[in-house]
Amino acid sequence: MSILILAEQHDGELAAGTAHVVAAARAIGGDIDVLVAGEGVDAVAQAAAGLDGVSRVRVADDAVYAHQLAEPLAELLVALADDYTHVLAASSTTGKNVLPRLAALRDVAQISDILEVVGADTFKRPIYAGNAIATVRSSDPLKVITVRTTAFDAVADGGSAAIEPVSAEVSNPSSRFVGEELAQSDRPELGSAKIVISGGRGMGSGDNFKLLDGIADKLGAAIGASRAAVDAGFVPNDMQVGQTGKIVAPELYIAVGISGAIQHLAGMKDSKVIVAINKDEDAPIFQVADYGLVGDLFEILPALEQKL
Amino acid sequence: MKVLVAVKRVIDYNVKIRVKPDHSDVDLTNVKMAMNPFCEIAVEEAVRLKEQGVASEIVAVTVGPKAAQEQLRTALALGADRAIHVETEARVESLAVAKLLKAVVDEEQPDLVILGKQAIDTDNNQTGQMLAALTGMPQGTFASKVDVKEGSVDVTREIDGGLQTVALTLPAVVTTDLRLNEPRYAKLPDIMKAKKKPLESKTPEALGVSVESGLELLGVETPAERKGGVKVGSVDELVEKLKTEAKVL
């Protein structure tokens, strides 16, 4: 077996997800190469070479790969895929954008969001927003897979893989980067944060979400919201945790004023420890919470911030 | 400009799913079905493009069983001009759906294809990207804004950590994210009118597409139930437990 992993990068750095994808690749077994494609990606390549278990880092440094557009990345992967039995990427917006395109160009299926490696050709993945787990087997010659990074523990640093350039003639006449607007926040990203604190309709207003700020600052937590809070206009949709929003699985999830609709539970029930704060003691959120605190969130939140 | 919009019949998003006793799949017998929520957003976007005078014709397409015609009728009631049903009772994976849609694209020659970013049953998030690959079109996935220009379209995409805008040469594929728009409900007179709009049926055989897949579903299980824990009496007790018992602080 030989596995190629598409490295994930943000702002010229290797993103944390890649170390989790390497862990999934190690569960499959075989030689593991990492592909770093972008413009000016030396630092990313160096970081990838340090991941435990990686035998080689292949670097495609060219302006055509800047901004990780799907069309050129898929074309590059198609050119390299002959050497591999598996191509993996994180189930991030980049992985999800690029890998199906590669799979179709190679006329093979793509397996999304795997949670577990059963064997080199058999994987478990969530369906119906995680309310069921499917086991699927692929008979395709090339397995193209996105990995739910929260389901695999990151590999450590300590490797020293060789770094080699790859040359491929890739052009991109049909899509062009126009601009991006990245959320300016010192807080970690919702999808990769170790602690998430989310507010629901019980927060009462968008202004009241400020009550979560101090706690998030102290804990180094990301702030999320339920769909009800988004629908009520309290906060923007990119904060939504749930079936139709972001799926998170942090070490600690604190649900504040969230009743616990199926929608929301689907997005956070794989968190290691769940805390629920709600004034309604019969709220369904308490059925999944490890620690429940019944009471008025407007009293509890300031007290909690003080105690941390 | 002609817009092709693809829709999928799925379990209604409010239904709590059950796994079959033999663990072969999810049990869909006598379950309420509906249009996939992301497909509703796709239809809405197409209709808005027509209302703005950007789109001249909207063709709705679905791949699925006989009953999926209900979802096509919904699309017609919402504003699609005509519909194409690729009828198959088989379990079709994303790649096969993308191949079938490509065959429809070859016949219809749309300038823009809009799909939901994923279906809430299989959660694959693949079909739009695969269709783009097979047709050689550029793709604007997870769209929160679509701005059609002369010969191109600017698509603002929801990416991890923010938004990215790309300019795509037409024809192009767009897949919808939640923030793109808020779908309308079909009005009764429109539902009545939709019954008379043209709906054409095709088969995978007639389109020359094999729906076989390299993927085999070995089984489906219910995830381990999460057990509720304890109620704590105070903030002090909560912090104490998180520090000493759960060890997450």
SS3 sequence, A154-219? Answer: CCCECCCCEEEECCCCCCCCCEEEEEEEECCCCCCCCCCCCEEEEECHHHCCCHHHHHHHHHHHHH
Neighboring chain A residues of B176 at a CB cutoff of 8 Å: none
Q: What is the pLDDT of residue B161?
A: 78
Q: What is the pLDDT of residue A245?
A: 81
The verdict on A308 touching B (C-beta cutoff 8 Å) is yes
- Residue entry with tokens 């094999």: B210
Question: Could you tell me which of A265, A248, A131, A236 has the C-alpha nearest to residue A195?
Answer: A248
Under an 8 A CB cutoff, do A110 and B130 touch?
yes
How far apart are the CA of B195 and the nearest CA of chain A, in angstroms?
Answer: 31
**CA atoms B157, B159, B164, B168: torsion sign:** negative
Under an 8 A CB cutoff, do A134 and B219 touch?
yes
Among chain B residues, CA nearest to A180 = B164
Average pLDDT on A46-59 reads 98
Q: Are A202 and A301 in contact (CB under 8 A)?
A: no
Which of B167, B215, B230 has the CB atom closest to A109's CB atom? Answer: B215
Average pLDDT on A278-288 reads 95
Average pLDDT of adjacent 10-residue blocks, chain B of 249 residues: 98 91 95 97 98 98 98 98 97 97 98 97 97 98 97 95 94 94 96 97 97 96 86 95 93
Q: Are A103 and B93 in contact (CB under 8 A)?
A: no
Q: What is the pLDDT of residue A238?
A: 82
Q: What is the pLDDT of residue A192?
A: 80
pTM for this entry:
0.92
**3-class secondary structure, A34:** strand
Residues in chain A: 308
Q: Which residue out of B160, B174, B241 would a mutagenesis test of the A interface target, given it has the greatest number of A Cβ atoms within 10 Å?
A: B160
Neighboring chain A residues of B115 at a CB cutoff of 8 Å: none
**3-class secondary structure, A296:** coil
Q: Which residue out of A115, A238, A280 would a mutagenesis test of the B interface target, given it has the greatest number of B Cβ atoms within 10 Å?
A: A238
pLDDT surpasses 80 at A111:
yes
Q: What is the pLDDT of residue B16?
A: 86
Residue A57 gets the label, from left (phi > 0), alpha (psi -120 to 50) or beta, of: beta
Neighboring chain A residues of B95 at a CB cutoff of 8 Å: 103-104, 107-110
The verdict on B145 touching A (C-beta cutoff 8 Å) is no
Q: What is the pLDDT of residue A188?
A: 87
CA-CA distance, B106 to B137, in Å (whole number)? 12
pLDDT surpasses 80 at A183:
no
Q: Mean pLDDT score of chain A, rounded to an integer?
A: 95
Neighboring chain A residues of B236 at a CB cutoff of 8 Å: 307
Which of B217, B228, B230 has the CB atom closest to A288's CB atom? Answer: B228
CB atoms within 10 A of CB A150: 19
A277, amino acid identity: I
Distance of CA A22 to the CA centre of its chain: 14
- For chain A, positions 217-236, list CB contacts with chain B under 8 A: 219, 236
Among chain B residues, CA nearest to A190 = B161
**3-class secondary structure, A56:** strand
pLDDT surpasses 90 at A304:
yes
Q: How far is CA A173 from CA B41, B104, B156, in A?
A: 29, 24, 19
> What are the backbone dihedrals phi and psi of residue B12, each rounded to the nearest 5 degrees, phi first?
-60, 140
In angstroms and rounded to an integer, the radius of gyration of the C-alpha atoms of chain B is: 21
Among chain B residues, CA nearest to A245 = B178
How far apart are the CA of B49 and the nearest CA of chain A, in angstroms?
Answer: 21
Give pLDDT tens digits for A120-143: 999 999 999 888 999 999 999 999
Which of B123, B139, B229 has the CB atom closest to A126's CB atom? Answer: B123
**3-class secondary structure, A240:** strand
- For chain A, positions 151-180, list CB contacts with chain B under 8 A: 173-180
